[in-house]
Amino acid sequence: MRGFDVVIVGARCAGSPLAVLLARRGFRVCVVDKARFPSDTPSTHVIQPAGVAALEHIGVLGPALAAGAVPLDRLTLVNEDVRIDATLDPTVFPQPGLCVRRVTLDALLVDAAATAGADVRTGVRATDLIADGDRIVGVETDRGPIRARLVVGADGRGSAVATAVDAREYHVVPGGRVPIWAYFEGVDDREGRLRLGRLGEHAFLAAPSDSGLYMAGITTARRRHLSGDDALQAGIAGWPELADVLAGGRRVGPVRVMTRWHSYFRQSAGPGWVLIGDAGHFKDFTPAQGIADALRQAERLTADLPDDLAAPALVDTATRQWWRWRDTDAHPMYWFAADMGAPETSTPLVTSVLRDIAADRRAIVTLLRVLNHEVSPARLLPPDRLARAAMQALRDRPDRLRATGSEIVTALRSELRRLRARRETPPGASSVPAHR
């Protein structure tokens, strides 16, 4: 039986990039995925500039652009009556953003993994893990066992690897809204503009995608009496600007709806195994961080692994170190995303904060850098901005004096709880179950 240095379960936007980078380091890598590509999967698919830089590094940016992906170098953000229009400065953001359908992107990533020298096996289902004592030493599949010195779970929210090692969840946040999205052809607006909106009970995300299509999505409160099609149409009608963009277009394919989701961190390393991408961590999709996070995590794990995977202690030390980095890196954006995706309508305080940011060019650049995961979201809310916004909110809505005061107190208490939770995050726990 041939053995590998690394076997990766899941070949999408975490697994295949990791396979490319590990193969370039000279490791023997096997990737298995139950899907055959091209294959779609429920996912928002805006990629922040940091993720686009990673795509260029692994050689997929060129093929994505050749497939018709439109560089996103402009942003429109609307929150009730506040509007921010911004253009990415190439001296600050060397790469633009992208919006690529997963049916296109994942196939390109799988091809890149095979080209890099990884043994890519699609249409192969992982059925269990192979254990030697408390250590994971391979993967059982419906085509036979695959042994490796390290098993990587890159198989998404419903990770079979996470289930097999009984990886517990922590910092869990229930899903707040239902994302509904679709693609349209014949849309004249092909400029590289990402549109984000929050109007009433709906939030919006829209941008040109690959293959001449335009992606438009909304999030809405959980309502059972509206079909996905009806909810999408009603939501789009609630933002006249987006409705005008789509006026000449025709929907292609079904309306996509993702109803079952929640945010979490999972224990992400143990003897002989590690979880990356959504298998180990999932956050609210509103700020569109998932794909860029998966790519960045693959880069970091590749850098953290030792040159020789034959020494179990060195491998486990590296994966625990990576896990600690992942939590530290993800924690601020996790809560920022939870706040952005909260099911409540925008409050006077939030609107006032955004109005203050909209009037400050440097603050707008900071907002863009926050969305690109370069700086902490805390940089957007220094005490002086929060104080100005609170005073303005009280002046604009004196009838909401009590509610605004309560919101400020609640926000401060929530931040203290989050800081405390961050200190309590398992730092690469010493006792993690290996196999259930």
The DSSP annotation for 44-78 comes to --EE-HHHHHHHHHHT-HHHHHHTTPPPB-EEEEE
pLDDT tier at 17 (50, 70, 90 boundaries)? very high
- Span 151-164, pLDDT tens digits: 999 999 999 999 99
* Average pLDDT across the chain, whole number: 88
Q: What is the mean pLDDT of residues 206-215?
A: 96
271 compared with 402, residue with greater pLDDT: 271
Q: Is the pLDDT of residue 132 over 60?
A: yes
Nearest-angstrom CA–CA distance, 415 and 335: 9
Give pLDDT, residue 435: 39
Nearest-angstrom CA–CA distance, 150 and 156: 18
Say which CATH superfamily domain 3-45+101-174+261-337 falls into.
Answer: FAD/NAD(P)-binding domain (3.50.50.60)
pLDDT tier at 434 (50, 70, 90 boundaries)? very low
Q: Is the pLDDT of residue 401 over 90?
A: no
Give pLDDT, residue 277: 97
Going by C-alpha positions, the residue among 5, 9, 50 that lies closest to residue 29 is 5
Nearest-angstrom CA–CA distance, 318 and 81: 48
Nearest-angstrom CA–CA distance, 18 and 8: 8
Cβ-count burial 367-402 (b if 16+ within 10 Å, e if not): bbbbbbbebebeebbeeebbeebbebbbeebeebee
Q: The pTM is what?
A: 0.90
- What percent of the chain has pLDDT above 70? 86
Are the C-beta atoms of 425 and 281 separated by less than 8 Å? no
Sign for the CA dihedral angle at 257, 260, 264, 268 comes to: negative
Sign for the CA dihedral angle at 323, 267, 327, 421 comes to: negative
Give pLDDT, residue 410: 52
DSSP 346: P
Residue with tokens 């004249």: 188
Paired tokens of 205 = 């995300």
Give pLDDT, residue 265: 96
66: buried, middle or exposed (CB in 10 Å: 19+, 13-18, 0-12)? exposed
Give pLDDT, residue 379: 87
Q: What is the mean pLDDT of residues 333-349?
A: 78
Domain(s) of CATH 3.30.9.100: residues in the chain: 178-257
Are the C-beta atoms of 240 and 275 separated by less than 8 Å? no
Say how many C-beta atoms besides its own lie within 10 A of residue 55's C-beta: 28
- Span 137-149, pLDDT tens digits: 999 999 999 999 9
- Span 360-371, pLDDT tens digits: 999 999 999 999
The DSSP annotation for 351-417 comes to HHHHHHHHT-HHHHHHHHHHHTTSS-GGGG--HHHHHHHHHHHHHH-GGGHHHHHHHHHHHHHHHHH
Domain(s) of CATH 3.50.50.60: residues in the chain: 3-45+101-174+261-337
Give pLDDT, residue 378: 85
End-to-end CA distance of the chain: give it in Å, rounded: 24
Which 3 state secondary structure label does DSSP give 241?
A: helix
pLDDT tier at 345 (50, 70, 90 boundaries)? low
Q: 345 Cβ partners below 8 Å, 6+ apart? A: 200, 201
- Span 69-123, pLDDT tens digits: 999 999 999 998 899 999 999 999 999 999 999 999 999 999 999 999 999 999 9
Nearest-angstrom CA–CA distance, 243 and 299: 39
Give pLDDT, residue 346: 63
CATH of domain 178-257: 3.30.9.100
Q: 150 Cβ partners below 8 Å, 6+ apart? A: 5, 6, 7, 272, 273, 274, 305, 309, 315, 319
Stretch among 23-37, 209-223, 241-255, 331-345 having the lowest mean pLDDT: 331-345
